[in-house]
Chain A
Amino acid sequence: MHTLTFSVLRNYGHSWSGIEVPVTLRVDHHRSVDLLAKVDTGAEFCIFQREYADMLELPFEAGEHKRFATATGAFDTRGHSVTLSSFDFEFESVVFFATEVNFPRNVLGRQGWLDRLRVGLVHHDQRLYLSKYDD
């Protein structure tokens, strides 16, 4: 028998599709935006819609270029360092913004989010449990 303890419980029953989490992306004291992102254990990185980079006034083209593969193709992104907050957790992460406008997804992937937390999931009850990795 194994036991884990968590500091945050989120019921995602209201989410229309996926396991959505409210997230804040912040560049500095004056530039931040709150959005919804899906927890995605299959995504290597955290990836967001291009429009959020524009809201944060990031120098989009100056970010690291990275191309991601999907089951049906590939897409281009630019990486930028931001402060990523969700619930009581906050960390500096390099996240990627899709180059294409109207990109349809925001995901919290393994690097930059999942690797900073301990995560428990009981999808039957639509419950997501979270703690900082080292709590």
Chain B
Amino acid sequence: MTLTIDQACMRQSLAGFFAQHGGGLMDSFARESALSNQLGSGFSNGGDKVDMQSSTARQSPPGIPGIQFPAEQPASHLDLLAHVGRGRAALSRLRERERRREQRRTDELALAWLAKNRATYAGRWIAVRGCELLASGMNAQEVYARARGQQPAPLVVKIESEGLPFAGW
């Protein structure tokens, strides 16, 4: 059985991805697409079909799992998809880096909040995100349940009572 994919649909889907995740790459995509049209790869022709399970199919480029193109397709076609794959990976790394940066900033605020308010909550479990106390109580699970799934993630800690200096184990 041969499966086919409508190139116009695929292009629309990719364009949607770029519109959502990266305006700059959308421009790049448009340039690649225009070049592809000039080279006559058929990418501009919405009615063209791509054979996904051709016996002569090449391996898909990295980042586009499950899609294969016939060997006779012009190289520019594969270049575009490889470009999309690299763009997607780069965006993913950027998002993760930004998430970690935001998490660190939030944690620093939470630590400053803890330094000021520690005595008030001594002996209790608390969930704190930035300068915001999300929950406090004696039951760790109940506190965690109110903090779970939030982003940036809150710190969930038990506030130690101020006592004797710790001598290590």
Return the contact of A35 from the options B118, B156, B168 (Cβ within 8 A).
Answer: B156
Residues of A within 8 A of B112 (CB): 14
A16–B111 CA distance with the chains assembled, in angstroms: 9
Interface size on B, residues (CB 8 A): 29
Chain A 84-115 per-residue mask, 1 if CB under 8 angstroms from chain B, else 0: 00011000000000000000100000000000
**A interface residues, tally (CB under 8 Å):** 26
Contact A17 B166 (CB under 8 A): yes
Q: Which of A49-57, A59-67, A117-125, A127-135 makes up part of the contact surface?
A: A49-57
Cross-chain contact B167 with A104 (CB below 8 angstroms): no
Check if A16 sits within 8 Å of B169, measured CB to CB. Answer: no
- Say if the beta carbon of B15 comes within 8 Å of chain A: no
B160 touches A33 (CB 8 A): no
B167 adjacent to A20 (CB under 8 Å): no
Across the interface, which residues of B come within 8 angstroms of A71, CB to CB?
A: 167-169
Query: Considering the chains assembled together, what is the distance between the CA atoms of A5 and B57 in angstroms?
Result: 48
Closest to A56 in B: B144
CA distance A54 to B162 in the complex (A): 26
- Is B100 in contact with A88, judged by CB distance below 8 angstroms? yes
Q: How far is the CB of A60 from chain B (nearest CB, A)?
A: 13
A24 and B162 alpha carbons, distance in the complex (Å): 25
Q: How far is the CB of B75 from chain A (nearest CB, A)?
A: 37
B165 contact set on A, CB distance < 8 A:
17
Expressed in whole angstroms, the minimum distance between the Cβ of A115 and any Cβ of chain B is 19
List B contacts of A40 (CB < 8 A).
168
Partner of A42, one of B115, B153, B169: B169
Q: Evaluate whether A34 and B111 lie within 8 angstroms (CB atoms) in the complex, with A17-B166, A42-B168, A70-B169 already known.
A: no
Smallest Cβ distance from B12 to chain A, in angstroms? Answer: 29
A contact residues around B91 at 8 Å (CB): none
Chain B residues with a Cβ under 8 A of chain A: 100, 103-104, 107-108, 110-112, 114-115, 118, 125, 140-141, 144, 148, 153-158, 160, 162, 165-169
Q: List 17 A-B contacts (CB under 8 A).
A: A14-B112, A17-B160, A18-B166, A22-B104, A22-B110, A22-B111, A22-B155, A24-B153, A33-B144, A33-B153, A33-B156, A34-B153, A51-B140, A51-B141, A55-B140, A55-B144, A87-B100
